[in-house]
A = this chain, B = another copy of it.
Amino acid sequence: MRIGVLTSGGDCPGLNAVIRSVVHRGLDVHGDQIVGVEDGFLGLIESRARPIGHDDVTGLLTLGGTVLGSARVQREKIRWAVDHAEELAARIGIDALIAIGGEGTLGAAKLFSDAGLPVVGVPKTIDNDIDATDVTFGFDTAVHVATEAIDRLKTTAESHQRVMVVELMGRHTGWITLTAGMAGGAHGILIPEKPFDIERVARMIEERFDRGKKFAIIAVAEGAVPATGTMRFDHGEVDQFGHRTFGGIGTRLAHELEDLLGKEARPVILGHVQRGGTPTARDRVLATRFGWHAVEAVHKGAFGHFTALRGSQIELVPVAEAVTRLKTVPADRWAESEAVL
């Protein structure tokens, strides 16, 4: 078969490993031809695609990012593409498509499949917010990077008897912050799922200092929000140039804790470092397995499905299961971290 592959949405360590795995499995075992579609659905729309073979994927297992590029495409364009699915597929000469992306991409997989371009999805998100799969690749790497940062911050916070506020990725869900916070032994873990009371955070830190501890680490997701009225500043002022002042929640939280506590509090905004670089071993394996099973799914005709990790097994799940709701941190998982709060 002639199988297209594209990567869509935000960057995520392991995308290249999926591409490599698709090529290995498709070429070596099934005798498929693999066509790399550039810049996500944009390449499909603009017929930018090229055959990829073994040489093109050499070294990709360990390389972050995506050699196919990725771009965000407006919904109308996607809808237009769905309407012209068969024609677009014919132009770049593919019989089926493996689409690696987030919730939106998985949703599109179903639409394209119904419209005549059979698509298998591979879920991708560093945020771990896709339902119906235990986890996706990229998440473990993001947590690894965030944990290494917390490890480093701890010693310097202790030496200087400071509060360190480390802001981690996660606009809608707190998985990275919860997990890296637990792995790094953060003393407070603030996530979007649970609006925080800054007075309570300050009190908890004070009690910690009263017990003779000389420092504290607060891990905060970029999407964490104060409970109404608990922070002096509103969130997200925008200045006359259109730039947000004060930076994000991490910076503002540090400033305000410093005022409340009368102690040095410093923000660290880890940012895009969490999205890049070589994937962890775990993410490489998961990405490789997803690629392997996506090719098998194409040959089985399991279109409109995506690869999901369930326990130790990869299963094929209807995309509808992934797009109905965002997977947020449930109360009982949050409870497990309270011991270290």
Contacts and interface: CB of A to CB of B under 8 A. Distances in A.
A151 B66 CA distance: 15
A116 interface: no
Interface string A145-161: 11111011111111111
Interface string A240-269: 010101110001000100000000001111
Nearest to A62: B151
B281 A339 contact: no
Contact of A156 (B269, B276, B282): B276
Nearest to A258: B243
Nearest to A142: B281
Contacts of A312: 134-135, 333
Interface in A277-333: 277-278, 280-282, 284-285, 288-289, 292-293, 310-312, 333
Interface residues of A, number: 84
Contacts of A93: none
Nearest to A27: B339
Given A156-B11, A269-B271, A161 B69 contact: yes
B185 A272 contact: no
Given A65-B158, A69-B214, A144-B280, 19 more contacts: A11-B155, A11-B156, A25-B339, A28-B339, A29-B339, A61-B183, A61-B184, A61-B185, A70-B159, A152-B272, A153-B277, A155-B276, A155-B277, A180-B281, A183-B281, A239-B246, A268-B270, A269-B269, A311-B311
16 contacts: A61-B183, A61-B184, A62-B185, A64-B156, A65-B158, A140-B282, A154-B277, A247-B247, A268-B270, A268-B273, A269-B271, A288-B336, A292-B339, A293-B336, A310-B311, A311-B311
